[in-house]
Amino acid sequence: MEGMTSPGQVWAHVGQPFQAAEFDVVVVGAGRMGAALALFLRRLAPHLSLLMVEEGGLPNEEGATILAPGLWTTLDLPRQAQWSQQDQWSEQAQWTREQLASAFGEMPFEPCPLIELYASPLPGHDHSPQGGQPSAAVPYESSAELAREFPVLRELANLDALPLARVDRQAALYRPASVALNAAQQAVRLGANLLLNTRARLKHAPGPQVMLERLTVTNTHQIVTHEVKVVRARHIVVAAGAGGPPLLEHGLGVHTQHGRAYQQYPRLNLPSPPGTPAVRVSGLTLRPQHGAFTLIPRLHHRDPHGYQPTGGHLTGVPTGLRREVLEDLVNLMDALPALAGPHLQVGRSLSDLPGAWVTLVRGDPQAPPVWETPAPGHHLLLGGPHADTLGLAVAHDLAQHLSQPLAPMP
């Protein structure tokens, strides 16, 4: 450890150098939900000292935040009827949308209709455009008529096979990584401490403690621990995405029942000029991005513990895209002929395709984001597939909880 500069100077990359060994709240992970939580906490409870710890940079280029579709929509909220909180989620979605549109300063946020196409009505859904469904349900329209307004539908899809459509005209596109960056910057401006390139480990101790490992890269390109510091906290919030549950399990020995799935985002090189809607068929979303489309495949279920992502084969040729997604795409090629052409980039090996682990609350791809307290003083904040639409509201809910008068330090 020779030649090390003083801890305060080295560690506090952003914000004021700190010497404290004790904080009111430590947030592990500065993805969009962790960063937003930090910002909300600074606003709601500026008297609480706050430390954000992030293993990567800001935004973290290996996390799910940077690859998340950033598609706000309420079109699939009705599928969460089993959560029996439909109205509440609807409100939280609207609140999240307002925040995205205004609360994070200069940030891309563009309304973009989401059109979901169907071969036949979903079971349990009303068929007629004027159906007597609850307010959350969106009526069906004729996809052929919709194609007059959005001619790109004819270029992408076989509308004879997909005669029905539902549109979320309130849907919007944004960049979750920008949310993370802007929220963290604002939180720091409001007095939060932020450590980047620092790995956090939770400690078995009387009272919440976190061991901070400052990482550095050697001249042989190995990532090593440069310095270790232990910090006490009244509350530790783990907001590390799919890495959150293992962090709690390894550190505290508590068992969580959350899952994760490896999500890949292949590109479809067809033009998407401004005004192009997002299109969804059978759970596969085509998101306009950088003048083309990013495909967001449907997550069917969690991947088993120990699964290493693996590419598949398409008619004998290795692909970077995993087999399960390839099968879904092949099944959709009749309905979406655009997928069958040379424009779909399936890659040759796994590294050709952007991909990330997406957390699945209780292993369920339909579950909304959640926060919970698996051990005293330890909170787990999880987003998952609906984080684009509901994540900020759940982070705000946790911030409100933490800003209540805190119990004395254990």
Token representation of residue 103: 């609360």
- Considering only 7, 312, 354, 374, the residue that binds its own copies (CB under 8 A) is 312
- Per rule CB under 8 A, is residue 16 in the interface with its own copies? no
Task: State in angstroms the smallest separation of the CB of 304 from its own copies.
Answer: 6
Whichever of 32 and 322 has its CB closer to its own copies, that residue is: 322
Question: How many whole angstroms separate alpha carbon 44 and alpha carbon 38?
Answer: 10
Question: How many whole angstroms separate alpha carbon 180 and alpha carbon 189?
Answer: 14
Quick note: the x/- pattern for its own copies over 229-258, rule CB under 8 A, is: --------------------x---x-x-x-
- Residue found under tokens 């090629």: 333
- Residue 284 · residue 295 · CB < 8 Å: yes
Task: State in angstroms the smallest separation of the CB of 44 from its own copies.
Answer: 35
- Residue 195 · residue 53 · CB < 8 Å: yes
Classify burial at 311, counting beta carbons within 10 Å of its beta carbon; exposed 0-12, middle 13-18, buried 19 or more. buried
Task: State in angstroms the smallest separation of the CB of 309 from its own copies.
Answer: 8
Q: Which of residues 76-105 bind its own copies (CB under 8 A)?
A: none
Question: How many whole angstroms separate alpha carbon 22 and alpha carbon 20?
Answer: 5
Q: Helix or strand or coil: residue 256?
A: coil
- Per rule CB under 8 A, is residue 364 in the interface with its own copies? no
- Per rule CB under 8 A, is residue 301 in the interface with its own copies? yes
- Considering only 12, 303, 382, 398, the residue that binds its own copies (CB under 8 A) is 303
Question: How many whole angstroms separate alpha carbon 184 and alpha carbon 175?
Answer: 14
Q: Helix or strand or coil: residue 164?
A: strand
- Per rule CB under 8 A, is residue 348 in the interface with its own copies? no
- Per rule CB under 8 A, is residue 305 in the interface with its own copies? yes
Task: State in angstroms the smallest separation of the CB of 382 from its own copies.
Answer: 16
Q: What angle do CA 197, 201, 207 make, to 5 degrees?
A: 130
Whichever of 304 and 342 has its CB closer to its own copies, that residue is: 304
Task: State in angstroms the smallest separation of the CB of 34 from its own copies.
Answer: 26
Task: State in angstroms the smallest separation of the CB of 307 from its own copies.
Answer: 5
Whichever of 160 and 327 has its CB closer to its own copies, that residue is: 327
Query: Residue 217 is which amino acid?
Result: V
Q: What angle do CA 369, 373, 378 make, to 5 degrees?
A: 115
Whichever of 83 and 95 has its CB closer to its own copies, that residue is: 83
Q: Which of residues 315-344 bind its own copies (CB under 8 A)?
A: 315-316, 322-324, 327, 330-331
Question: How many whole angstroms separate alpha carbon 253 and alpha carbon 243?
Answer: 15
Binding site for its own copies (CB under 8 A): 249, 253, 255, 257, 300-310, 312-313, 315-316, 322-324, 327, 330-331
